[in-house]
Structure 1
Amino acid sequence: MKEYTIQIMRTWVFVAIFMGTLVLFFGSMVLARGLNLPWGVFLIWAAVCLFGGYLLIKRVAIVAKQVTLTPDQLSIRSSKSAPDQQIMLADIASFHYQEFNGNKTFRLRLRSGQKVTLAHNDTFCPADDIVALAADFRKQAADFSTDRSVGITREKTFFEKPVASVVGWLIVAGLCYFSWHLLTHGVKDGKWGSVFMIYGNGLTYLGAWFAARQNKAEASGAND
């Protein structure tokens, strides 16, 4: 038996706090401009909204769950008072795990059609055991499937699918063209932020894509 602590984000709570913070910020900015307040007030209020929203998300939107994995089942407990969610491995049809840009998602698809999802965000969630849980469950699922006629399959991540390769090669071509354009025409004043954003987003996608291709190749080699 192994136990894990998983910090998950409740998406709807995050969206509600984020939208509320934006409304509060921009509404206050409109009021401040109407009163002709100095720019320093804008900057201070922006910092207050960002920091306050960040703390509120960490306090309200993040929930710790205790996960226990045994050879026959996986249990999830949200708090000491809440009942455990007991999931027999025999009831699990497939599982999915994906990492991208600081987000980690571990999902179980039950034979009943129900989905159980644990979503982690590195920005707001403290370090936890979701990576270890995904790795151990993958091994457990393989052992469980070997001993029984009905197994647990691993769902492909987005980056393992053909469409991800199409997008990946398009990004490679786009970054090559963009680099050539910068070398021949230079960067306009005030556009460096856009340049860094384009390269950052493109390289983030390519990193996840190449990692998925490498993992797939290693898995294929292990199965040979």
Structure 2
Amino acid sequence: MTIRVLIADDQALIRAGLVALFTAAPGFDVAGEAADGRRAVELAATVEPDVILMDIRMPVLDGIAATRQILAAGADDAPHVVVLTTFDLDEYVYTALGAGASGFLLKDTPPERILTAVRTIVVGDILIAPAITRRLIETFSQHHRTAVTAPALAELTPRETEVLRLIGNGLTNAQIAQRLVLSESTVKTHAKRIMSKLAVTSRAQAVVVAYESGLIIANGAADTD
């Protein structure tokens, strides 16, 4: 499988470096590049990328607004949006997750880790280390609220609730499958149903809901009662 990547960043040097990285790596194809959010939205609709690396601060249209527009339709074949940021505690990162982004990468992430991260997200796993996820949620959850409430969580089956807890604690599909003695495909099916019932567009956004609802405690301890 060839992973098609769209790179959106207004800094020409960073954009060129990412283009060179994915062009040289086997299994990847650079579907396009954009220097502003509006162009990223246009290209997302025409070049059909699997993953978009999206800078936050860009001219014309910022990365968060671009992410919202790209994911607004909620299509099953929508690309995964990965936010690029300079600071790991940038408040905009949290806002981007709420907009439906699947995770984020720091711009100083080593090249091989960027490639691994993109491969990871394409198979449906979350792209944020658990410690960073918890720090983001703990820092910003008091200032940002999703539209999902307790009644929406009540729609989840006990198994789906259990899967959501494990996703929120940073486990991959393979780890969840091992923990619950399920196949990975079954875990993916549960994750898809969870996102549908919670009306969110990514696993990362489901994690935000899990923390904000109290299903998972902000200090990282899972509520397993």
TM-score, normalization by structure 2: 0.27
Structure with more strand by fraction: 1
Structure with more helix by fraction: 1
Between structure 1 and structure 2, the one with the greater Rg is 1
Larger RCO (alpha carbons 8 Å, 6+ apart): 1
TM-score, normalization by structure 1: 0.27
